[in-house]
Amino acid sequence: MALQHTRFIAGHSKLPQGMAAKSVFDTLTITAEIDCKHGVILEASCTLATDHGRQYIHDLLRGISLSDGPEEAEQLIEKHYHGKAANALVAAVRDLHRQFETL
């Protein structure tokens, strides 16, 4: 997809104590490339410490439409991600959705 048809947005939240990523980042960030027409997440990344964790979140979020709200992404994270950052990921998705709404 051509870049003129996408937007890059970021959502942020605070990381909980005891996270490996906390030694590098104070906040958790989810970034996403969004299709402008449908609000679909084409690519997503986050600041989790491991490649595996970042890839897992990418795979969970890819294909979700933020036009429908953040609930689907929140539910997927709550159901499938059982690490310490679960609440931070949900909060970052909510912030990502808020950023999307400003486009």
Strands (E), the chain: 6-14, 27-35, 41-46
Domain 3-101, CATH among 1.10.10.10, 3.40.50.261, 3.90.1010.10, 1.10.3720.10? 3.90.1010.10
Mean pLDDT across 36-63: 96
Q: Which residues contact 17 (CB under 8 A, 6 or more apart)?
A: none
First to last CA, the chain: 18
Query: Given a cut of 70, is residue 6 above it in pLDDT?
Result: yes
Q: Where are the domains of the chain?
A: 3-101
pTM (2 d.p.): 0.90
Query: Given a cut of 70, is residue 22 above it in pLDDT?
Result: no
Query: Given a cut of 80, is residue 18 above it in pLDDT?
Result: no
Query: Given a cut of 80, is residue 41 above it in pLDDT?
Result: yes
pLDDT of residue 49: 85
